[in-house]
Amino acid sequence: MPRTARIAPQEFVYHILTRGNNKQDVFKDDEDFLKYIDIIKKYKEKYLFKLYHYVLMTNHVHLVMETTEAGGELAQIMKGINLSYAQHYKKKYKYTGHFWQDRFKSIIISKDFGLRQLCGTKSCPGVDSQRAQRISLEQLRGKCLRQERRFG
């Protein structure tokens, strides 16, 4: 039976969560983190979305992004990012089977209040909002064995 289509209007801000299958680690070394960031950059250029914030944890990823009228739909963007990274990981570690757990989760957030709540009020170089900053680990649940990476 086919899945129900996701309703994701363009020009909205989304908090995206994607997790490794069975909560497994999806980043094993610094090169993996950097590869994921490179993939985000590639798809940001292709689909013209705004990236306000991101946090890469060892077993999952948080992104705060806004789709644009001139760019791609949320499903296209996340399919490209997640498929590209899964292919990298499977090739590098000779991994087979499911990589991501379920579909990514997307929550529409308010442009003003939601961004301030998630991202704080300081500026962060390399992301689109002047008010955005890294999400602190205290705001997130889950294990983090590696340092957060800034987009830049």
Share of the chain above pLDDT 90, in %: 55
Mean pLDDT over 55-67 rounds to 93
Taking a C-beta distance cutoff of 8 angstroms, is the pair 150, 126 a contact?
yes
Residue 10 pLDDT > 50: yes
Residue 105 DSSP SS3: strand
Distance in angstroms (rounded) separating the CA atoms of residues 12 and 69: 10
Q: Cα-flanking dihedrals φ and ψ of residue 100, to 5°? A: -95, 145
Alpha carbon 35 to its chain centroid, in Å, reads 13
Beta-strand pair 13-19/105-109: antiparallel
Distance in angstroms (rounded) separating the CA atoms of residues 110 and 84: 29
Residue 136 DSSP SS3: coil
Residue 129 pLDDT > 60: no
Distance in angstroms (rounded) separating the CA atoms of residues 40 and 122: 22
Annotated domain spans of the chain: 13-139
**Model pTM greater than 0.85?**
no
What was the pLDDT predicted at 135? 38
Distance in angstroms (rounded) separating the CA atoms of residues 84 and 29: 17
The secondary structure of residue 12, as a DSSP letter, is: -
Say which CATH architecture domain 13-139 belongs to: 2-Layer Sandwich (3.30)
Mean pLDDT over 88-105 rounds to 95
